[in-house]
Structure 1
Amino acid sequence: MKNIAKNIGFALIAATIIASCNPLELDDIQDPNNPSVGSIAKNASPEQIQFLITGLESRHRGYVTNISQAWNTFGREIWYLNASDPRFQTDWLGQNGRVPDRSYFGFGNTGGGSWATPYQAIKQADVLKLAADNTDNITAAQKSAVVGFSKTIQGYQYMIPANFVYNNGIRMDVTNPLKPGPFVPYEEALNQINTILDEGFQALGASGSGNFPFKLTSGFNGFNTITGLQQVNRAIAARLNAYRKDWQGVLTALEGSFMNLNGNLNAGPAHPYGAAPDIFNPLYYVPNAAVNTMIVVHPSVLDDATPGDLRVQNKFLKRTNPVTVTTDAGALVGTHQDARWVSNSSPITYIRNEELILLKAEAHANLNQGTAAVAAINIIRNAAGIGPYTGATTTAALIDEILYQRRYSLWAEPWGHRWIDARRYDRLADIPTSYDKGTIFTQFPHPQAELSWDDYIGN
């Protein structure tokens, strides 16, 4: 983490700031086109605050490609077939006994999108808070709104490395990039993330009401008010509280979120994409494109589907020609590709009303409130066209049903829900490996670069 934080603290942040630091004590050379960290640390202008907010939104989506490809592979929601580099199959599927080590492909040297990228967003938010706290050019209410927004994004981003290394723990205190705090256990990290989200919610509330005082991208359309951002904050808190097994906390957070039992299941904040100078949706593939590198639907998802499930019909496209990649364990054949995106500029919603309703069902089930759990489950089932739930209403039976519905409702979203869900219910053994003769991972070690930096700094 020290290596990551050092690079972040003194490198380009979201194309809006650059830090100058010369160990030989030569004159600092500032970027003439972008403000330095020093220039925004005191009396930043409203324009500079706006740049930093936009930069934070850009950093906020940085994890999407890596998490969507890797974590959803670990949970066997997808295969990321890549004929050019077999390690995307052999290593990520754990074939031939491969298990994560500190230099594992895609993660070991830098941590990739699961480790380094979230911390870049966390540090971007730190710089934004620093700028807001130390300027007289915006009002106290505006400062509070900016801090609340920053902490909301930080809460979301901290959950990524926490769930990546799991019981190995993460650093929560990265304020000083050259002297970050110690690793803290998973449960403690989740508790600290909960505090960050609560502080963000309170800061947003203290800023007043009405619109957020700075411009947000189209990803926050419908949520660009103080109330809307508080609802996003509480939605993230509901997800977090499920990981904390605070089931009443889940329900309380949902009450303040944008959950709507009668609303659009796809409603929620999104990561926007577009043409240059922006970037395209990294999960979009041209339908039936003649390529051998593509995210494909894992065959177990197709085999285990309920007949007539509209989610299968709407999310999966059966290809004219399957994508086939040969591995040490034999050929992997992808018959279906992702059909969720209309174009390469489609936004990606990162927490949706559908997930919130399923979280409500899960909380009620764990609180032995079967009637309420079934009511929430049936909203999802009926939307999928598979009819109401008719099974047992014991907690165990309801959790089985909820995890099954989450598998299809939240398929391949940029979070790796099934991998995390199976782990938190001690069901990793339920994830099938017969299709690829691989291994199901529990967690990853800290990247080697993290330990190398510890040795270098002598701490």
Structure 2
Amino acid sequence: MQAKNILYMIVFGLVLTGCNEFLDLEPISEETTEVGYDKEGQIEAALTGAYESFQASQYYAWDKVLFQDIRSDNHYAGGDNPEIFQFDWLTVSNTNSRLFEDWSNLYNAIAKANVVLERAPLVTDPALTETRRGQIMGEAYFLRAYHHYTLVTTWGDVPIMTAFTSSTDPEEIRPSKSTQEEVYDQIIEDLELAIDLLPDTYGSDASVNKARATAGAANALAAKASLQRPNKDYQAALDYIAAVEASGANYRLISYDHLFDGNHYNNDESILEVQYLGGAEGNWGPQMHLPPSISGNGWRKFTTPSHDLIDAYAAEGDNVRQNATVLFEAVSWVDEFWGNTPGSSIPFAYKWKNADGWASADRFYLLRFGDVVLLKAEALAGLNRLAEAVTEVNRIRNRAGLGALTAADQASQAAMMTAILKERRLELAQEGQRWDDLVRFGEAVSTMSNLVEIDLRTGQAFDYPMDASKIFLPIPQEELDRNPNLN
């Protein structure tokens, strides 16, 4: 067994090295891959390595919030990093190093899923049952779909990668972009395969069921993709959501406080979450957000809730979700939006509760049922089934201690969509959803163009230079240099 483990570590290390820079892949010999994945334990380890991308990638640890919340009207950048300010100010250059790092990490994650999909059918070890082989492939199809979804929502037209390549042929390692619709078609195709192969649960252990892709996770992501794609498919989204609701996993809404108190992960509302355990398996993201009283250090943090977000909570009287999402604290530094003098009280992102010196056990929900309920409302409203949509939104509002939607909110399809978008903001702030929501509802340009935030240093409103060209981020220059087919 020790020799097998050593062999796996060597082979998988080669895979990671070969995939680290998406369009500059080092070839992996046919002989090496043939030897490396012929045992049940080796293919299971390869799958574990594919899941590990959620923990290892900077995107899922923090840049998801940067790209979605800081880039939108939810948060300011804070901190002192010029590259991060670019996202807040909507001036992102294609030489911004975070673009290349995240692009590479996401395609690396897809490559790891592709290795599993290519090797799993060839494992002859009798210890690998056909049922488990199918599950492994279903999990890998889901992972490939999830990362392609992240790529297409971030960059728009992107290459589709459905095979791990050991070739040096420029035609294979320098692919052209596919259209958004083509990418979404591939995502749905992969998720349909995953749905057929995956169970509702793997047993009674929630720490397993919330850590691994299930049929519920695949249906939930398929619903999101059906609504996010340029040509929305409202009925398909409802069909996928019906499958989530009927799942043997019995997903349900729980107390909003429990969702984000740091003590109730792997709960009934969670569909899939990143399983940070703390220590060597810890989450460094909370240290970037939390105030000095919790993080233990006094430097300026990098995710500051905006006046516009706090005003949105106040306008709705939404104390439950604001208190779970935001914590105000006096600070020693000067914040140009909340207090232009030291000692001002400013808000901190608070959905993570424990910093633990860069090694937190706080989790990130990749998919949760509260999001699905609001997606159902959106799909119903898209089909002009407004009364049914109201019922779903009110489930979320009632959970937050708020009253039902007003008559004005449900007076028309347009009014209902506006109410749903507002509800999604209050429900999902700091969960890496806001930018995608604005794009999907066709509100990204108008929201950011009309955003009024006062820079206290000058007393002037900050100018957000938003137009349609900035809906998607630019492909990193390093990739354009490697692959002229991406231009």
Does TM-score exceed 0.5, indicating one fold? yes
**Structure 1 residues 9 and 449, CA, compared in 2 at 3 Å: closer, same or farther?**
farther
- Return the offset for 1:419: 1.1
Q: CA RMSD in A?
A: 3.3
The secondary structure found in structure 1 opposite 2:190 is helix
Q: Identify if the C-alpha distance between structure 1 residues 401 and 56 changes in structure 2 by more than 3 Å, giving closer, same or farther.
A: same
1:19-38 counterparts in 2 under 5 A? 37-38=33-34
SS in 2 for 1:349: strand
Residue type matched to 2:308 in 1? Answer: S
Could you say which residue in structure 1 is the equivalent of 2:329? 319
Matches within 5 A, 1:43-442: 43=38, 45-61=39-55, 62=57, 63-64=59-60, 65-83=62-80, 85-89=81-85, 91-94=86-89, 98=91, 100-107=92-99, 110=100, 112-113=101-102, 115-137=103-125, 138-166=128-156, 168-173=157-162, 175-176=164-165, 178=168, 179-180=172-173, 181-204=175-198, 211=202, 218=207, 220-221=208-209, 229-244=214-229, 245-257=232-244, 263-264=253-254, 266=259, 267-268=269-270, 269-284=272-287, 285-289=289-293, 290-305=298-313, 306-321=316-331, 324-325=334-335, 335-343=346-354, 344-392=360-408, 393=410, 394-413=412-431, 415=432, 417-428=433-444, 429-431=446-448, 432-435=450-453, 436-440=462-466, 441-442=470-471
Q: For 1:114-153, what per-residue CA distance to the aligned partner results, in whole angstroms no more than 9, with x for missing partners?
A: x222211111111122231211111222211100010011
Q: 1 CA distance for matches of 2:211 and 2:273?
A: 10
1:131 maps to amino acid: R
> What are the ranges of 5 or more consecutive residues in structure 1 without an aligned counterpart?
1-6, 23-27, 29-34
Preserved contact between residue 113 and residue 140 of structure 2 (Cα < 8 Å): yes
Distance 2:430 2:333 in 1: 18
Do the aligned residues in 1 keep the contact of 2:135 with 2:197 (CA within 8 Å)? yes
Measured in 1, the distance between the counterparts of 2:480 and 2:14 equals 17
Deviation at 1:8, TM superposition (A): 8.6
Question: 1:8 and 1:426 mapped to 2: Cα distance?
Answer: 43
Counterpart position of 1:32: none
Question: Counterparts of 1:406 and 1:169 in 2: how far apart (Å)?
Answer: 27
CA distance in 2, matches of 1:403, 1:238: 16
Amino acid at match of 1:122: I
Between Structure 1 and Structure 2, which shows a larger proportion of helix residues? 2
The 2-side partners of 1:340 and 1:317 are apart by 9
SS of the aligned residue for 1:335 comes to strand
Give CA-to-partner distance per residue, 1:52-99, whole Å, 9 cap, x none. 22211111342212121232111122223122x23322x22236xx3x
1:450 matched to 2:479: yes
Q: Distance in 2 between matches of 1:314 and 1:211?
A: 31
In 2, the alpha carbon distance for the partners of 1:454 and 1:118 equals 17
Per the alignment, in what secondary structure is the counterpart of residue 351 of structure 1? strand
Structure with more relative contact order (C-alpha pairs < 8 Å, separation 6 or more): 1
Give distance in 2, aligned partners of 1:105 and 1:262. Answer: 40
CA contact (8 A) 2:253 2:370 kept: no
Which residue number in structure 2 is paired with residue 25 of structure 1? Answer: none
Q: Which residue of 1 aligns with 2:9?
A: none
Amino acid at match of 2:416: L
Counterpart among 11, 19, 24 of residue 17 in structure 2: 11
Change (3 A) 1:418 1:144: same
Structure 1 position 324, deviation (Å): 3.6
Shift of 1:412: 1.5
Provide the aligned length of Structure 1 versus Structure 2.
Answer: 412
Distance 1:323 1:433 in 2: 25
The more displaced of 369-378 and 300-309 is 300-309
Counterpart CA distance in 2 for 1:349 and 1:458 is: 32
Offset of residue 231 of structure 1 = 0.9
Tell me the SS of whatever aligns to 1:176.
Answer: coil
Shift of 1:298: 1.6
Offset at 1:350?
1.2
Whether contact under 8 Å (1:314, 1:339) holds in the other structure is: yes
Distance 1:308 1:92, change over 3 A: closer
CA shift, 1:217, in A, is: 9.5
In the TM superposition, what whole-angstrom CA distance separates every residue of 1:34-54 from its partner, at most 9, and x where no partner exists? Answer: x9645324x2x2221222222
Q: Secondary structure at the match of 1:39?
A: helix
> Partner of 2:3 in structure 1?
none
Which one-letter code corresponds to 1:340 in the other structure? K
Cα distance, 1:235 vs structure 2: 0.9
Amino acid at match of 1:430: T
Does the 8 Å contact 1:204/1:230 carry over to 2?
A: yes
Conserved in 1, the CA contact under 8 Å of 2:118 and 2:163? no
Counterpart of 2:458 in structure 1 is none
Does the residue aligned with 1:378 lie in a helix, a strand or coil? helix
1:275 aligns to what SS in structure 2? coil
CA distance in 2, matches of 1:263, 1:92: 33
Counterpart amino acid of 1:454? N
- Give me the TM-score of the superposition, normalised by structure 2: 0.76
Name the CA distance, whole Å, in 1 between partners of 2:124 and 2:388: 50
Partner SS state of residue 292, structure 1: coil
Distance 2:328 2:122 in 1: 55
- Quickly say closer, same or farther: Cα 1:148–1:334, change in 2 above 3 A: farther
Amino acid at match of 1:102: N
Deviation at 1:320, TM superposition (A): 2.3
Task: Compare 284-293 and 309-318 and name the one that shifted more.
Answer: 284-293
Q: Which amino acid aligns with 2:150?
A: I
Distance 1:163 1:238 in 2: 14
**Cα distance, 1:404 vs. partner?**
0.1
CA contact (8 A) 1:20 1:36 kept: no
